[in-house]
Copies of this chain bind each other. A is one copy, B any other.
Amino acid sequence: GEASGPSVKTTVPGPKSRQMIADLDKIQFAGSVFYFTDYKNSLGNYVVDADGNSILDVFSQISSLPLGYNHPDMHKVVQDPDNQIAFINRPALGIFPAQGWPEKLTNSLLSVAPKGHTQVNTMACGSCSNENAFKAAFMWYRNKQRGGASISDEENSSCLVNRAPGSTPFTIMSFKGSFHGQTLGCLTTTHSRSIFKLDFPALDWPIASFPRYKYPLEDHVKENEAEDRRCLAEVEEQFEIYNKAGKFVAGVVVEPIQAEGGDVHASPEFFQQLQRITKKNGAALILDEVQTGGGATGKYWCHEHFNLPDPADFVTFSKKMLTGGFYSLPEFRPQQGLKIFNTWMGDPSKVLLLEKVVQVVKRDNLLKLVELSGKKLMDGLKDLSNRFPQHMKNNVRGIGTFCAFDLTSPQKRDEAFFRLQQHGVQSGPCGEQTIRLRPFLVFQPKHADIFLDVLEKVLKEI
């Protein structure tokens, strides 16, 4: 069974991990590795590292593994000989899908689709999901511009050499502090940290401010409403500037919670207004739920907490959904083949795993568990922030188990993160001085207690 608590015998990383990091470093730059992992002996919420340390994992492989390590139902999926067919015969899915594929999509991605969504395309990671949502928005925008006119020879020939009119001057608006991936199109819309962007070319696309609230929220209602208005005015302004310059804004991409950028939350009202402004300007709203989607907020999609007046035009996903892809409203459906396309178009074996995840989430009532464990986490974090104001800022925030808190300085964050690791808790740093929690969907209130105990110990030490 699952470990009853963390058990750490060496420094983390220990000597074995350090040797393996040195081995890997002969083959590739290995500077981002925390430690090597013994996946065979990892179970549930506990990851075991190469030195035999058993670590409570509240980071879940950058929020990408939904049910914890070696979940018995996941084992069943890969043990089933019929499923093994899909693991070893990866198709060019856009051309030769397996019989039964529409049913698989219906049982998995469509069974948890955001309200109002019936259309879904699979991709292989968060970056190609966003890149292709951008492309679908560009096609839609251009078709509106054409107004039914047919495509000219000049368009076809000019685009081959990256020139107008075939290549468009279209843009995607993004927000300061955002993270949408690290391929060149996605990277143009990413602004969370310079390390991701430095030295690379970027397109001239509009950028607006994302709200930065004062906490506690209930004491700063007026200021935070003003902050929403300031950011929304910037959105309007960027539309105005770029559209007037002929760099038409075809879409606005936004995370429901800016996760990589430090778990920055904005109000439902902000998102409601953003949808209104985007629609008014004839652009598509692209909700990037790559990190927020998949259940950690207590709903499958974080934006379902926002009561948007209309369904989002696009919702992109990856990570906990195991497959990348995007939902989009029917009006954004490509009208031609090969444009939203690549060799593999995702991976059916990941959708088989997702199908089972969705069943388990339902069967075991895991979204309810997320709510319970999330409440426990949030209460505990708020209590600690009150008791250790010298270390923790008063801005604990979260929905479900998708929680975060700030230390009072970047140095203190690094120290808290390190000490948590040494005491057997794997958390995730993000933003400048934030620690984010991204537990598995099987994280229980008892795991919250263990985490909070260790965090308290750490706060006493530093």
Contact = CB atoms under 8 A, between A and B. Distances in A.
B159 A95 contact: no
Contact of A125 (B27, B82, B86, B124): B124
In the A-B complex, list the 6 residue pairs whose CB atoms are closest, starting with the nearest. Answer: A184-B185, A32-B337, A162-B202, A74-B88, A156-B194, A23-B102
Q: How many copies does the complex hold?
A: 2
Between A138, A176, A191, A203, the greatest number of chain B beta carbons within 10 A of the residue's beta carbon is seen for A203
A4 interface: no
Interface stretch (A167-175, A369-377, A410-418, A451-459): A167-175
Given A134-B184, A159-B197, 10 more contacts: A20-B101, A29-B340, A33-B97, A61-B91, A131-B184, A132-B182, A135-B182, A168-B200, A181-B342, A195-B339
Contact of A97 (B24, B155, B160, B161): B24
A379 B333 CA distance: 45
Given A88-B71, A89-B70, A31 B337 contact: yes
A124 B124 CA distance: 8
A28 interface: yes
Given A89-B69, A90-B65, A197-B166, A318 B343 contact: yes
Contact of A207 (B132, B161, B196, B202): B161
Interface string A25-61: 0111101111111111010000100100000000001
12 contacts: A27-B106, A27-B110, A32-B341, A36-B96, A36-B97, A39-B86, A40-B82, A40-B85, A62-B92, A124-B124, A138-B200, A196-B341
- Most chain B CB atoms below 10 A, which of A26, A118, A185: A185
A151 interface: yes
Contact of A197 (B101, B167, B201): B167
A119 interface: yes
Interface in A1-28: 16, 20, 23-24, 26-28
B191 A161 contact: yes
A94 B23 CA distance: 14
A64 interface: yes
A65 B79 contact: no
Contact of A343 (B74, B97, B126): B126
B37 A99 contact: yes
A160 B40 contact: no
A168 to B, nearest CB: 6
A417 to B, nearest CB: 13
Contact of A79 (B84, B159, B171): B84
A198 interface: yes
Q: Is the interface of A mostly helix, strand, loop or mixed?
A: loop
Interface string A186-225: 1010010111111111111101000000000000000000
Interface of A: 16, 20, 23-24, 26-29, 31-40, 42, 47, 50, 61-62, 64-65, 69-71, 74-75, 77-79, 82, 84-92, 94-99, 101-102, 105-106, 110, 118-121, 124-128, 131-132, 134-135, 138-139, 142-143, 151, 155-157, 159-162, 166-171, 176, 181-186, 188, 191, 193-205, 207, 318-319, 322, 333-344, 349, 353
Contact of A151 (B32, B166, B198, B342): B198
Given A128-B183, A199-B139, A199-B168, A89 B65 contact: yes
Contact of A61 (B77, B90, B119, B338): B90
A82 to B, nearest CB: 7
